[in-house]
Amino acid sequence: MKNRFEQKLLELLGKERVFWDPAARLCYSLDGYPIQKHTPRAVALPETGQEIQALVKLALEEGVPILPRGAGTCLSGGATPPKEPCLLVELARMRNLLSWSPEDRYAIVQPGLVNLDLSVLVGPKGLYYAPDPSSQKASTIGGNLAENAGGPHCFKYGMTTDHILAVRFVDGRGEFVHADLEDGPDLVGLFTGSEGTFGIATEIKVRLSPSPERIKTFLASYPSMESACKAVSRIVRCGIVPAALEILDRLTIEAVEASVFAAGYPRDAEAVLLVELDGPATEVEADSPRVVDLLEEERPLAIESTTDAEQRLRLWKGRKGAFGAMGRLKPNIFVLDGVVPTSKLASTLEQVAKIGKKHGIVLSNVFHAGDGNLHPNLSFDGRDPDETKRAMAAGMEILDLCVREGGSISGEHGIGFEKREAMRFMFDEEDLDAFGRLRACFDPRRVCNPEKFFPTGGGCKEGRSAQFGEKSIV
């Protein structure tokens, strides 16, 4: 016997587009953040914006939290259901490119369209969608929008927020909002990165960029992490803007080279630095000697470079496969996402290593060096409660360190469940109160993706009433 909520849901979408059985729902119980799991109450598969609106209204009527989900690749628990059983809105059936203009360089897409698929669709006209999170083969534009996703190439091209021109979404009142950069206050910028706590996007207008004429990738290996970081600082300051500046440390190199992702990185190096130049052929070739000079100033063990597509893929293979290769170290991995000023990369990494040692956790680093976005990877065995606890403690200590060094707790993964308590490292009660008031303008009943983002406990208004239902109206 179905209850009222279930009956209404069936009336809205029919039995083919609602998952009830436990096995199906279990598939949605977590995302790329391995620590927390909660099974949703039901999974709905809408095909239109109107259906999404009807689902939000139903959630409001029935007092059920609602959570949109793209591909579930989020690393901070943003797409993990809240503890209170929720209605999960699976957007896989809304993955169309609705319209686009090559000359005006925009595309209007549905939220479930996979990031890389958009570039494939517009590629024949010499365009692509620039934000490239490592998950871009699977992650969706809607998910990227919610988390303000970054990626290796955002050093030059910016984050997702720099590529969103307009969003149509259903807010926490169940009403449509069309936010446009050219129309009134910047609601687009507010919505981007709000982690699903303001509503659910139904259509997204994105900027398309011209595909670079030439791409050249350099691999420089160094005898110390400090040398690699100093080389990055030299390049950042010289006026050339590489498309990417990525560093892998020794432990990562060893894991990669022992795996199917082996890229031929020198095993005797303490760090390898990947530099990528892209743009017009004349510009790339003109900038290349200068980049080599700067790399050589820090006495590398070796430098290689290539414009050949296959060879470039090889050089990137290790970087792209690094997280997969970590599986050789321990069954689970906890990927941190702190940011520090680039001038403090080397000194911070020394401290990070000490924290890992103190907690007895295997710790490796692969990170976006150009913008100081660290990804310390804490390898642990989730079946061992003590080791899991130590990994979590080390993670929090590292995030605190990043903030004390003048940085941030998140560069691109978002807050979600993972970092909600760490928000207090950066923000005090007044800041959190401002965030709470901002959220209330979009979602006064906190029906959208609750239990995330805001820290629990303490004096924070939002935090105290973070559980949906404790307080219905702000």
What is the Cβ-side half-sphere exposure of residue 260, based on CA atoms within 13 angstroms?
2
Q: Using DSSP, state whether 47 is helix, strand or coil.
A: coil
- Look up residue 326 and give its two tokens: 């970590």
- Look up residue 324 and give its two tokens: 């997969």
Nearer to another protein, 299 or 437 (CB): 437
Q: Quick one: CA torsion of 216, 412, 78, 251, rounded to 10 degrees?
A: 70
SS3 of the chain: helix, strand, coil, percent, to 5: 40, 20, 40
Nearer to another protein, 150 or 356 (CB): 150
Minimum CB separation from another protein for residue 433, in Å? Answer: 7
Nearer to another protein, 198 or 380 (CB): 198
Nearest alpha-carbon partner for 244 in 373, 369, 375, 411: 369
Inter-CA distances, 82 with 66, 97, 372, Å = 9, 30, 31
Q: Using DSSP, state whether 8 is helix, strand or coil.
A: helix
Q: How far is it, in rounded angstroms, from Cα 9 to Cα 4?
A: 9
Minimum CB separation from another protein for residue 41, in Å? Answer: 27
- Look up residue 298 and give its two tokens: 């820090």
Q: Which residue has the tokens 């290539």?
A: 306
Minimum CB separation from another protein for residue 89, in Å? Answer: 19
Nearer to another protein, 148 or 364 (CB): 148
- Look up residue 29 and give its two tokens: 């119980």
Nearer to another protein, 187 or 269 (CB): 187
Nearer to another protein, 91 or 165 (CB): 165
Nearer to another protein, 51 or 195 (CB): 195
Nearer to another protein, 406 or 458 (CB): 406
Q: How far is it, in rounded angstroms, from Cα 78 to Cα 467?
A: 15
> Under a CB-based contact definition with an 8 Å cutoff, are residues 46 and 19 in contact?
no
Minimum CB separation from another protein for residue 214, in Å? Answer: 10
Query: Strand 271-279 to strand 332-335: parallel, antiparallel, or no bridges (unpaired)?
Result: unpaired
> Under a CB-based contact definition with an 8 Å cutoff, are residues 271 and 301 in contact?
no
106 strand-pairing partners? 101, 207
Query: Strand 66-69 to strand 87-90: parallel, antiparallel, or no bridges (unpaired)?
Result: parallel
What does the angle CA 227 – CA 293 – CA 274 come to, to the nearest 5 degrees? Answer: 55
Minimum CB separation from another protein for residue 27, in Å? Answer: 27
Nearer to another protein, 158 or 324 (CB): 158
Minimum CB separation from another protein for residue 421, in Å? Answer: 12
- Look up residue 371 and give its two tokens: 């913008």
Nearer to another protein, 158 or 266 (CB): 158
Nearest alpha-carbon partner for 273 in 257, 252, 255: 252
